[in-house]
Amino acid sequence: MSLKGFKFSVVEAAIKKPGRKDLALVFSETPATAAAVFTTNAVKAAPVLLSAGRIAGGKAQALVVNSGNANACTGAQGMADACEISGLLAEGLGIAEELVQVSSTGVIGVPLPMERFKNALPSLIASCGSATLDDLAAAIMTTDTFPKTSVRVGSSGGVGYTVVGTAKGAGMIMPNMATMLSFVMTDAAVAPELIHTVFRQAVDRSFNAITIDGDTSTNDTCLLMANGAAGTPLITLDTPDGDAFAELLDELLLDLARQIVKDGEGATKFVEIRVTGAVSDADAKRAAMAVANSSLVKTAFFGQDANWGRIFAAVGYSGAAVDPDRLALWFDDVCMAKDGIFVGGDAEVRGTEVLQRKEFVVTVDFGLGTGHTTVYTSDLSHEYVSINADYRT
Amino acid sequence: MSLKGFKFSVVEAAIKKPGRKDLALVFSETPATAAAVFTTNAVKAAPVLLSAGRIAGGKAQALVVNSGNANACTGAQGMADACEISGLLAEGLGIAEELVQVSSTGVIGVPLPMERFKNALPSLIASCGSATLDDLAAAIMTTDTFPKTSVRVGSSGGVGYTVVGTAKGAGMIMPNMATMLSFVMTDAAVAPELIHTVFRQAVDRSFNAITIDGDTSTNDTCLLMANGAAGTPLITLDTPDGDAFAELLDELLLDLARQIVKDGEGATKFVEIRVTGAVSDADAKRAAMAVANSSLVKTAFFGQDANWGRIFAAVGYSGAAVDPDRLALWFDDVCMAKDGIFVGGDAEVRGTEVLQRKEFVVTVDFGLGTGHTTVYTSDLSHEYVSINADYRT
């Protein structure tokens, strides 16, 4: 990784099961221009409340993140704990406390094991620079089965720069509340107004296309830091270089989001849901999310059952404007239904073949307008129930 | 069953698997005062469209209902089929076609096997009166594991009357789209305005407390017929007898709704979710439904994991006004959290004991106002996935 001016470290603080790195540090040699998108859940974890207040200043230099404990529903003690950790880290790194972002993921409602944190922080700081992006990705995992990273390179004014990102899967993403964390670092110099504009958009097209706005966990966080260490000129809004940066960021977040879905708890399928011809984009998203979230649709995917009727039913209750007699549906390129009804012929056989693939696209056309969207989901398997039934044990 | 003036019959029309009765008739000797509540899904099955138009007249004399095929997403052919069936039935029974209600449940998107219907209708009509309420309940089952019936008796002006009801489970009720059918018959004479007022209320407190308004299947139907054959005086609104009838109806529908939840696909737990202290009843219902629908909460119930934090997280994204620092939570009488945080002590052990029961109550108090509600749900088990993955095979 050629990312300049950022250093990572990871340690085992015994917050999670033994043998797992569970505490990580991201440190920028200089204060970075930063922005973050946090959960919209009314019940916010202490680190989210703390970090959201600080990021408003537009700068961050360090991130401390733990897995194994969400520090959510922990009241005043939880906030005091998050503050104490960030204070100790700022002191150890010799930076202002306001430049420290704190993030947590794991079980809700259990106070942080502060002694273990305090014991681990010195070695976390001392080893700063010793870890790779993959190490960071592994340290933030909870029920994820593989670490998620993505890297892109660009250039501005003849100077190359790198954007790296990591994310932790939100277990089974689609229903509710699974925590999604993503941290993106770039050594490009990026104007704050560009970051603010394009970062939110990129999050909407990626992470918000796999989780529902408002149906978020107590801890969801997506953080971007740009420190300029590559020596690029300042990349600004409404310029070709700004557009190129925005495109890179889009690609990188979408790559991470797709990895999260592929690692959905117990997932055996990766399904892209495309809705076209809706009255509006908002209607298209409403319908696509209803389909992507339907337990009945998702179990049919798992069972490789070309049950297109369940998809129409989900569209019907989504709240989107719909004319049942105009609906059409495809599994990949196999048209299953037109004008609201089954097309007949060998569609059943061919549709079932599509559903036997590991990845496929479901397209629903409303035949009403130009509204469209794409969202990503997985199937619902036995394994999902197993994982979540005994998550805490 | 002492219900007067109603006759039932059931036959095997080979719509479902062999050996299962799948076509049923309810016939009232005289036209009954009737009302119905149908799905709010924008994609409505043909029988729903047909029956909704007819019930507006306030009268019904016969109901023909099949399981095994929903006659949904079947277009103009589906409507023609539903009309043809009701026409044949009306002719056979010698009643007006407008007095026939048609109802279907089963797989979506497959045309009705009309030849089998036509072959079966003569014996269905000929055997009218030969079936019991239990037979009717069994004939409308899809993935239900037991028939659901409820009977209540009342009196008005010294004359006894009976109310009977049956329902079919909506498989796993809580997520989406599972079809719920319920048919209620009484030999009391009930004024139309009383029926219209109390029936909708009773449905809201029972079936709508186990499914979400708007997240309904293509076929959901709840039908009430009152034929007056018991010879009671006309029971009217805002009278003691009217109130007593309303109470009976409430009890009966709630009994049926609870049976549906208990028979939730793969369910091993029956959970009552009570929300108190919300800003409004609507907010309380929003929060209770978010909890009852959360896959993560429901898998924790299955795993007997006292994971109260997931419940607070669901409350947080429900959209209800919430102050996280005022939330409190009980599993039965065991307080798990107060002022938004874990109470400590032996609550974990005692809470886990509660979750090992087959039935328990989860109470969430918001500490904000007087809004309250109660909803009913089940857990999410391996079995649910099995049942729905291969529903059509």
CB neighbour list of residue A220: distance below 8 Å, 6 or more residues apart:
A38, A39, A41, A48, A170, A179, A180, A181, A211
Structure-token pair, residue B299: 């898998």
Structural domains of chain B sorted by starting position, each given as residue range(s) with its CATH number in brackets: 6-262 (3.60.70.12), 270-389 (3.10.20.340)
CB atoms B341 and A74 under 8 Å? yes
Segments of chain A with pLDDT less than 50: 173-175, 177, 213-214, 393
CB atoms B385 and A380 under 8 Å? yes
Chain A interface mutation, best of B77, B341, B387, highest count of A Cβ atoms under 10 Å: B341
Instruction: Please state, in angstroms and rounded to a whole number, the distance separating the CA atoms of residues A88 and A85.
Output: 5
Model confidence at B264: pLDDT above 80: no
pLDDT at B173: 47
The answer to whether ipTM exceeds 0.85 is no
Structure-token pair, residue A237: 């809004």
Question: pLDDT (tens digit, 9 = 90+) per residue, B197-234?
Answer: 999 999 988 988 886 544 678 999 999 999 999 999 99
- pTM of structure: 0.85
Choose among B72, B324, B393: nearest Cβ to A305: B393
Please give, rounded to a whole number of angstroms, the shortest distance from the CA of A77 to a CA of chain B: 9
Closest residue in chain A to residue B70, using alpha carbons only: A309
Model confidence at B17: pLDDT above 90: no
| Res. B388 pLDDT band, cuts 50 70 90 | low
CB atoms B303 and A393 under 8 Å? yes
Chain B residues within an 8 Å CB radius of A40: 317
CB atoms B322 and A42 under 8 Å? yes
pLDDT at A382: 65
Question: pLDDT (tens digit, 9 = 90+) per residue, A218-264?
Answer: 999 999 999 999 999 999 999 999 999 999 999 999 999 989 888 87
- Per DSSP, what are the bridge partners of residue A260? none
Question: pLDDT (tens digit, 9 = 90+) per residue, B46-87?
Answer: 999 999 999 999 999 999 999 999 999 999 999 999 999 999
Least confident segment among B127-136, B167-176, B330-339:
B167-176
Angle, helix B382-389 to helix A295-302, in steps of 10 degrees:
70
CB atoms A313 and B217 under 8 Å? yes
The average confidence (pLDDT) of chain B is 91
Cα angle A2-A4-A10, degrees, rounded to a multiple of 5: 85
pLDDT at B268: 86
Please give, rounded to a whole number of angstroms, the shortest distance from the CA of A334 to a CA of chain B: 16
Given A105, A179, A186, A276, the catalytic residue: A179
Please give, rounded to a whole number of angstroms, the shortest distance from the CA of A7 to a CA of chain B: 33
CB atoms A72 and B313 under 8 Å? yes
CB atoms B73 and A303 under 8 Å? no
Closest residue in chain A to residue B39, using alpha carbons only: A317
CB atoms B391 and A44 under 8 Å? no
Choose among A172, A215, A316: nearest Cβ to B42: A316
Are B191 and B235 contacting, i.e. CB atoms less than 8 angstroms apart?
yes
pLDDT at A174: 47
Chain A residues within an 8 Å CB radius of B393: 303, 305
pLDDT at A266: 73
CB atoms A324 and B42 under 8 Å? yes
pLDDT at A179: 81
Chain B interface mutation, best of A48, A71, A296, highest count of B Cβ atoms under 10 Å: A296
Q: List, by residue number, the catalytic residues of B.
A: 179
**DSSP conformational letter for A108:** S
Choose among A108, A177, A322: nearest Cβ to B294: A177
Please give, rounded to a whole number of angstroms, the shortest distance from the CA of B270 to a CA of chain A: 16
Chain A interface mutation, best of B41, B179, B352, highest count of A Cβ atoms under 10 Å: B41
Please give, rounded to a whole number of angstroms, the shortest distance from the CA of A185 to a CA of chain B: 29
Chain B residues within an 8 Å CB radius of A310: 108, 177
CB neighbour list of residue A251: distance below 8 Å, 6 or more residues apart:
A152
Q: How many CA atoms does the CB half-sphere of A173 hold within 13 Å?
A: 34
Structure-token pair, residue A248: 């890179």
